[in-house]
Amino acid sequence: MFLLRQHIVISLGGSLINPGKVDIAFLRKFRDSILSLSKRFRFFIVCGGGKISRDYISAGKSFNLSHSELDRLGIYGTKLNALLLKMIFGNKAVLAQDFAFFKEKRFEQHRKIIIASGYSPGCSSDKVAVDIAVIANAGRIINMSNIDYVYDKNKNNLYNISWDLFFKIVGKKWVPGKNVPFDPVASKKAKSAGKKVIILNGKKLKNFENAVLEKRFSGTTIFNF
């Protein structure tokens, strides 16, 4: 078993992995950053589907597929991104093929970097990140997105906000392919579990590292006041 100071869950937006084509330069820098930080932390990296998933979900809507079927299409996008990430990390990481890997705490016998994806319909990969945080007793979930902050209706940056205010901004209902800073279903679970979620621009890796190391960073922190 690896004895690390802290477990950190990352919800890695698919828009960072593949904003239109695979961002090789970003993935190289992200890999180097995680490998360096993994000397002190165990990371659970949950990959989103991004544009790949949304494109397939959009196509599915044209054929009047059910919400469950649309979610399943989206899940396969997350799995493709997760497989790529695992291969990039090589033997430094392990890919969780199913959610039982976490339920049964099999991760305790594995490496410091665990790669995950979506698994079940009814939510986005953000919900997987929250579920893992609960099981692994991780206090923080870092959502690496393509935005610097959560914004209010007047486009003002929000720095520290409550879950209740966040719900007023994004709503509480999940729709397959919904593009919000953090999935409403995941948000409800994070609120009830008392988890803190940090939303930041994942492209700015030094800023991400500061957030991991609990130094000053730019982003939005959502938690129970």
Encode pLDDT of 80-133 as tens digits: 999 999 999 999 999 999 999 999 999 988 778 999 999 999 888 999 999 999
8 three-class SS = strand
Integer angstrom CA distances of residue 56 from 88, 100, 146: 25, 26, 20
143 three-class SS = strand
Encode pLDDT of 27-78 as tens digits: 999 999 999 999 999 999 999 998 899 999 999 999 999 999 999 999 999 9
Give the domain 6-223 fold.
Carbamate kinase (3.40.1160)
Confidence (pLDDT) at 4 = 45
Confidence (pLDDT) at 1 = 41
Q: What is the mean pLDDT of residues 138-166?
A: 93
Residue corresponding to tokens 């305790």: 108
Q: pTM for the complete prediction?
A: 0.94
Confidence (pLDDT) at 177 = 67
pLDDT band at 146 (very low <50, low <70, confident <90, very high): very high
Estimate the share of the chain in helix, then strand, then coil, as percent rounded to the nearest 5. 45, 20, 35
Residue corresponding to tokens 């809507």: 61
Integer angstrom CA distances of residue 38 from 35, 89, 191, 197, 210: 5, 12, 27, 20, 14
Q: What is the DSSP letter of 28?
A: H
pLDDT band at 210 (very low <50, low <70, confident <90, very high): very high
Encode pLDDT of 1-36 as tens digits: 444 468 999 999 999 999 999 999 999 999 999 999
Encode pLDDT of 179-207 as tens digits: 788 989 999 999 999 999 999 999 999 99
Q: Where are the beta strands (DSSP E) in the chain?
A: 6-12, 41-47, 93-95, 113-116, 140-145, 150-151, 157-158, 160-162, 196-201, 220-223
| pLDDT surpassing 50 at residue 215 | yes
